[in-house]
Each structure stands twice: as C-alpha cells, then as structure tokens.
C-alpha cells in the first residue's frame, strides 16, 4: 500500500467528476491542469508495467508515457477507438495499449489504430544501433538484423516488439503516409486515409512533422471525431513543431485545454470539427499567413501564459515565435528574441531551458527542404 499514490488516485477521481468540468470551474485555468498532470503521471500500480513502459526506445519522456498510460487507464471511457499517428517502434503505442487493458470500463472490441509511414525515418544503420539493447536481451531476434540491413522499413520490427504482449490483440498497425506538400497528395502510394464510419475518442498525434502534414492529418481525421474527442499532441510544446500550436490556436474555438506534461498538451474537442473550415483558416503553407501573424500569435500566447504564472508555457511559446520567424526567413528578429530569452534570469539558471535555447541556436526551425540555421 502506498498512501501517497492512493491519495493521488482519489484526487484524480475527484478531478474527473462531471468529465472534469465542475472541478475545472472551481479550480480555474491555473490549478486544474497542473493537478491533473500530477495525478496522471503517477507510476503504474501493476508490477512490471513501469519496466515495460521504459523498455522500447521512445522519443517521449517517461512522464509523457505515464500520462498516456494513465489517461487510457482512467480517463478514456473504454468504448471508443483510439488513433495514433507516428508510433515509430511503439513506445507510445505500448503506453496506451497497456493503459487500455487496465481500464475497467474497456469494451473488448475497442482498438488502437496506429499509423506510420514505417520507413525512411531511421537509416538501417541507425535502426540497428537503436535496437542494440533489444537484440542483446533477445527481445528482437538476431535474424532480424539481415532484414534491417536490406531495408529501413520498421513495420516488421514494430510487430516483433509487440507480438508477445498481452495487449497485442488491441493494436492495429497500419501504413499511412502524410504528404509533405499539397502537390504530393496525388503522388503517394499509401497516403494516410481512414475507413468510412470509423470514429475516435482519443487521437494521439506524434507524426505531424510539418505544416502541410498537420493540415492534411487534421482534415482527414475531422469527420472521424465528435465533441468530446481528446487530442493529445506530442509536439505541441516542441519549438520546431510550431505548426501544432498554431493549428490549435487558430482553431481555438474548437479546442479546450485540459492538461500538459513536458511537450505533450491535451485538448478536448468542444464542437464538430469541420474539414472545410480548416481549409479556409489554415492555409497550405505558413508563408501565406506571414511572419507578422506568427509574431503576434505567439507573443499573445506567451503573455497569456505569464498571466497564468506558467513560466514553462511562456518559454515554449517564445520558442515557437523564434522558430516560426526563422522558418519564414526573419532570422535577425528570431535571434533577438532568443537572446532576450537567454537573458531572463529564470531561464538562464535552469539547465533544461538553457539546453533548449542552445538547441534553437543550432537549429531554430526545419522546413520540407531541411534544417534552417542562423549562420
């Protein structure tokens, strides 16, 4: 028995009363998301689950995977299907699927559909090196090495990593590629598409690595959502993916902020998401909105974060501002904001912020053509 974990569980139950609406009204925008984040990052009670959550290489933090695990175990209603874009080897897929299995309300027919291009992400060499610890433990058989040397496709590795787990029957891996630009849409053989009639209660987004892919994904999933659908955006807080924060805030009438853990931000859909409206307000390229738009958008979001005493939110939106300006070629202004951020004593004295600033100094943005640099 762990009294502190039990207290966390009780608090989570209270926070989710009336789908969180009442507690949120009472606690307000500042407290509710923070308390929820705290309770949703408690370690699993089931022995062995924490180890499983940390076994597969993942580009998420442990806290982010705990959020996914607990969200599916305790916030998901247990009935609607779940969608993931961008599982890579499935560290995040595992977190969600394990969580689904722990949910006492789980409908046995509910599935986790996970889409990826399943190739051209890591080279064969990088894949072999990333999987080294799993070969050594015998989790991936040695025979797989030859196939990886011949191809960077990782669908089979994904299957090998999950096939012996109890949650495997829940997951449905699918090949689906998000086009980088509008011109690419008609050219792709396995463009991302969903089956007619599919509806999702939770959508975890970790594969929208560009402006247009984000638009294409959101337009495609829109008819498969309904008010109440949760969107969990892995990259919302990551500066180079400023398009995610731009999308959510351009469409802010639709999205209600629920909580955040590290780079993950969770939103609940408030009303029917209409694909045609996305087309009107979110153009095919960031260039069509122009640097002034992003400067004002992210400056406004930073100010709002400060009002809520959310230093982390302030920092992230300032970096979004830097990245969007650098993306659009307004580099001197982007560099000026970055330097100003570095002079802020609060950030200067904290390692994680200094590391993020240094990373943005090296690569402030990336475009479909490659990395942007200041010099």
Ligand X SMILES: C[S@@+](CC[C@H](N)C(=O)[O-])C[C@H]1O[C@@H](n2cnc3c(N)ncnc32)[C@H](O)[C@@H]1O
Q: Take residue 79 and report the two structure tokens written for it.
A: 């009935």
- Considering the complex, what minimum distance in angstroms separates the CB of residue 16 from ligand X? 25
- Quick one: which segment of 38-46, 204-212, 221-229, 238-246 binds ligand X (CB under 6 A)? 204-212
For ligand X, the binding residue among 171, 178, 266, 330 (CB under 6 A) is: 178
- Examine residue 206 and tell whether it contacts ligand X (CB under 6 A): yes
Q: Is 120 or 350 the residue whose CB approaches ligand X more closely? A: 120
Q: Is 117 or 316 the residue whose CB approaches ligand X more closely? A: 117
- Considering the complex, what minimum distance in angstroms separates the CB of residue 59 from ligand X? 4
- Considering the complex, what minimum distance in angstroms separates the CB of residue 338 from ligand X? 24
- Examine residue 86 and tell whether it contacts ligand X (CB under 6 A): yes
Non-local (6+) Cβ contacts of 232 within 8 A are: 67, 68, 71, 202, 203, 204, 205, 264, 265, 266
- Looking at residues 117 to 156 of the shown chain, list those that interact with ligand X (rule: CB under 6 A): 117, 121
- Considering the complex, what minimum distance in angstroms separates the CB of residue 171 from ligand X? 13
Q: Is 93 or 302 the residue whose CB approaches ligand X more closely? A: 93
- Quick one: which segment of 84-92, 139-147, 193-201, 356-364 binds ligand X (CB under 6 A)? 84-92
Query: Which residue stretches of the chain are H helix?
Result: 3-15, 21-39, 49-53, 62-70, 91-102, 124-130, 132-136, 144-150, 155-162, 211-221, 242-250, 275-281, 291-307, 311-327, 331-343, 345-348, 351-362
Non-local (6+) Cβ contacts of 332 within 8 A are: none
Rounded to whole angstroms, the Cα distance separating 371 from 365 reads 6
Q: Tell me the angle at which helices 242-250 and 291-307 cross, rounded to the nearest 10 degrees.
A: 80
Report the alpha-carbon angle 267-272-278, nearest 5. Answer: 80
For ligand X, the binding residue among 213, 237, 313, 364 (CB under 6 A) is: 213
Residues engaged in binding ligand X (CB under 6 A): 58-60, 86-88, 91-92, 116-117, 121, 177-178, 206-207, 209, 213
């Amino acid at each position: 028995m762990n009294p502190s974990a039990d207290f966390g569980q009780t608090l989570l139950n209270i926070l989710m009363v009336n789908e969180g609406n009442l507690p949120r009204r009472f606690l307000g925008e500042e407290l509710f998301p923070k308390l929820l984040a705290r309770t949703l990052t408690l370690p699993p009670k089931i022995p062995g689950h924490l180890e499983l959550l940390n076994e597969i290489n993942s580009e998420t933090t442990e806290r982010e995977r705990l959020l996914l695990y607990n969200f599916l175990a305790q916030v998901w209603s247990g009935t609607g299907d779940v969608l993931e874009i961008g599982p890579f080897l499935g560290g995040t897929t595992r977190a969600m699927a394990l969580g689904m299995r722990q949910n006492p309300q789980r409908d046995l027919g509910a599935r986790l559909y996970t889409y990826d291009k399943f190739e051209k992400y890591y080279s064969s060499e990088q894949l072999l090196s990333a999987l080294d610890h799993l070969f050594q433990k015998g989790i991936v058989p040695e025979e797989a090495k030859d196939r990886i040397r011949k191809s960077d496709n990782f669908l089979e590795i994904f299957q090998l990593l999950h096939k012996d787990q109890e949650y495997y029957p829940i997951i449905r891996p699918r090949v689906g590629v998000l086009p980088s630009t509008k011109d690419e849409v008609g050219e792709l053989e396995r463009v991302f598409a969903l089956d007619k009639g599919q509806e999702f209660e939770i959508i975890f987004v970790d594969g929208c690595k560009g402006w247009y892919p984000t638009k294409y994904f959101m337009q495609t999933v829109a008819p498969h959502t309904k008010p109440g659908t949760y969107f969990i955006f892995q990259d919302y807080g990551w500066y180079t993916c400023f398009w995610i924060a731009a999308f959510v805030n351009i469409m802010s009438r639709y999205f209600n902020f629920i909580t955040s853990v590290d780079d993950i931000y969770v939103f609940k859909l408030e009303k029917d998401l209409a694909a045609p409206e996305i087309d009107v307000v979110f153009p095919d390229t960031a260039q069509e909105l122009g640097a002034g738009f992003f400067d004002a958008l992210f400056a406004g979001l930073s100010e709002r974060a400060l009002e809520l005493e959310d230093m982390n939110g302030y920092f992230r939106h300032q970096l979004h501002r830097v990245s969007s300006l650098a993306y659009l070629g307004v580099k001197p202004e982007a560099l000026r904001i970055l330097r100003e951020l570095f002079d802020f004593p609060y950030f200067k004295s904290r390692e994680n912020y200094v590391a993020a600033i240094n990373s943005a100094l090296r690569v402030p943005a990336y475009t479909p053509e490659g990395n942007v640099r200041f010099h």
